[in-house]
Structure 1
Amino acid sequence: MRERREVWTAGEAYERYMGRWSRLVAEEFVGWLGEGDGGGYRLDAGCGTGALTAAAAAHGRARAVVGVDRSAGFVAAARGAVPAAAGFVVADAGALPVRDGALDAVVSGLALNFLPRPDAAVAGWARAVRPGGLVAAYVWDYAGGMGFLRCFWDAAVAVDPSAAALDEGAGSRSAARSRCAPCGRGRDWWTWWWGRSRCPRCSAVSRISGSRS
């Protein structure tokens, strides 16, 4: 089956659509994580226009913070908007070009649901962090309705019914039922704190399966 890839390319358009919200949630997420180990190397997978990268650089004590995104347009926008404390690279968040155990943390904000194989992406992030490192991610609550965007998409579909095919919430409502393969913990696995890169219930190392039934 052909994989579906969603690619945002225009940083300014994304900022008008989502930027005000992505910056707010990034600040909340970084505050929730805490500073963690000082002096480490952190990577923001699927950095977009750099909201989470900027928050991690501003509030943490990492030696280096790098954002990666496969969209050159997003990376260019991030480089122009985020302070020099962070760096940016055009690369695939679903296949990080780093060696095993090279990072202290991989974080990701509002990106995992756009990757064609989120389970493989999370496994790759776990591979890239050192033992005892951190893998943490978040997406919008599509399964719960995501009210502020639901109004937008309902209006768009009312004007042009073909817009329904572009509604990112439609596919993600089923993806939100994904589960850890060994223990079955489900629904919101992508918001888990993967201490030591493991499932907090059963300690499985990033073994995730998706249920779309």
Structure 2
Amino acid sequence: MELDWSLGEYESTGEALLPVSEVVVAMSEPLAGKRVVDLGCGTGNAALLAAARGAVVTGVDPAARLVEVARERAAERGVQAEFLAGDAGAIPVEDGTADLLVSVFAVIFAPDADAAIAEMARVTAPDGVIRLTSWVPGGSMMTINNVAGRFMGEVFGGGPAPEPGAPKPLAWHDEAALREAFAKYGLMVEVERRSMRLTAKSAEEYLAKSARHPMAVSAAQALASRPDGAELQAELQGRLLAAVREINEDREAFQVSNDYAIVTARRG
């Protein structure tokens, strides 16, 4: 089942990830007059930054609620940007029209990576650039996802075996895997590593904020469907707290480094 990104409160996560959008947009300048697509735009971070630099921007996201949030933020800032509901497997943009397509920690969650790459290649202009970000294993983001994923597997089982011909997952941070995946569409790939820090007053506060993320809300709803849901949720929270405490880099508060990859793809 595909995650409903309208659940919970992605806004706080979007705010924390704004510095990465700033990096991606800055390295893509100059943008004045260029046609930019922000795929999986969420609350509109990258889209609004590009629009403020004079780009003609279209933000696309599968979550209707987040599309509305992005529109409201654009209106508040007085910038012009179009926001549409749509997903990575069927981007509502015409062929070859994007001078720049960005996707900040978004397309990496597409259920069909190959279909998403095909769509990104389709909408990008012949001399255009695709620039996306992906988490690298380690750090608080991946730690929480891994711990929660293992726990949900214990509770509900590993799920049915993939059907023959089902889309294969892609290691979006791995340069060799990316080169192979993008080469099918005539795209060359470069990958560079960066790091960002997330802070909070304590590990408990950080985990409380993370509990509003759509993934966490979806997991909580699934556990609540069980008669022992309260006990299971408490067990999961205990495991998550132990995990984030272990990777905490600040003895007085909470700080953790999250490495990520910036993937740039263009035609040779």
Task: Identify whether the pair has TM-score above 0.5, normalized to the shorter chain.
Answer: yes
Q: Which residue is equivalent to 1:210?
A: none
Counterpart of 1:81, as a letter, is R
2 CA distance for matches of 1:72 and 1:28?
26
1 CA distance for matches of 2:112 and 2:190?
16
Tell me if 1:191 matches 2:262: yes
Secondary structure at 1:192's aligned position in 2?
strand
Tell me if 1:76 matches 2:75: no
Tell me if 1:162 matches 2:138: no
1:1-213 alignment runs, 5 A limit: 5-10=2-7, 13-16=9-12, 18-36=13-31, 38-58=32-52, 60-62=53-55, 64-82=56-74, 83=77, 84-141=79-136, 143=137, 145=138, 147-150=139-142, 152=144, 161-162=151-152, 174=171, 176-177=173-174, 178-181=177-180, 188=191, 191-194=262-265, 197-198=266-267, 203=268
Counterpart of 1:191, as a letter, is I
In terms of Rg, which structure is larger? 2
Say if 1:133 and 1:175 are closer, same or farther in 2 by CA, change over 3 A: closer
More strand by percentage: 2
**Following TM superposition, by how much is the alpha carbon of 1:98 offset from its aligned partner in structure 2, in angstroms?**
2.4
1 CA distance for matches of 2:71 and 2:112?
27
Q: Which residue is equivalent to 2:257?
A: none
Structure 2: stretches of 5+ with no match in the other structure: 156-167, 193-260
Say if 1:127 and 1:164 are closer, same or farther in 2 by CA, change over 3 A: farther
Counterpart of 2:65, as a letter, is G
Say if 1:163 and 1:191 are closer, same or farther in 2 by CA, change over 3 A: same
2 CA distance for matches of 1:108 and 1:179?
15
**Following TM superposition, by how much is the alpha carbon of 1:71 offset from its aligned partner in structure 2, in angstroms?**
1.0
Counterpart of 2:151, as a letter, is P
Could you tell me whether the CA contact under 8 Å between 1:153 and 1:164 is conserved in 2?
no
Say if 1:154 and 1:6 are closer, same or farther in 2 by CA, change over 3 A: closer
2 CA distance for matches of 1:22 and 1:164?
30
Say if 1:156 and 1:106 are closer, same or farther in 2 by CA, change over 3 A: closer
1 CA distance for matches of 2:191 and 2:84?
28
Counterpart of 2:2, as a letter, is R
Name the % identity.
31
Structure 1: stretches of 5+ with no match in the other structure: 166-170, 204-213
**Following TM superposition, by how much is the alpha carbon of 1:27 offset from its aligned partner in structure 2, in angstroms?**
0.7
TM-score by length of 1: 0.69
Aligned length: 178
**Following TM superposition, by how much is the alpha carbon of 1:39 offset from its aligned partner in structure 2, in angstroms?**
1.3
1 CA distance for matches of 2:6 and 2:179?
32
Counterpart of 2:54, as a letter, is R
Larger mean CA deviation between 70-79 and 172-181 belongs to 172-181
1 CA distance for matches of 2:40 and 2:106?
5
Could you tell me whether the CA contact under 8 Å between 2:135 and 2:142 is conserved in 1?
no
* CA-to-aligned-CA distance 1:132-163 (integer Å, 9 cap, x gap): 1121111222x2x1x23256558868xx9338
1 CA distance for matches of 2:37 and 2:30?
14
**Following TM superposition, by how much is the alpha carbon of 1:173 offset from its aligned partner in structure 2, in angstroms?**
8.7
* CA-to-aligned-CA distance 1:7-43 (integer Å, 9 cap, x gap): 3114x61123x1232211101111122224x312111
Could you tell me whether the CA contact under 8 Å between 1:6 and 1:115 is conserved in 2?
no
Say if 1:164 and 1:137 are closer, same or farther in 2 by CA, change over 3 A: farther
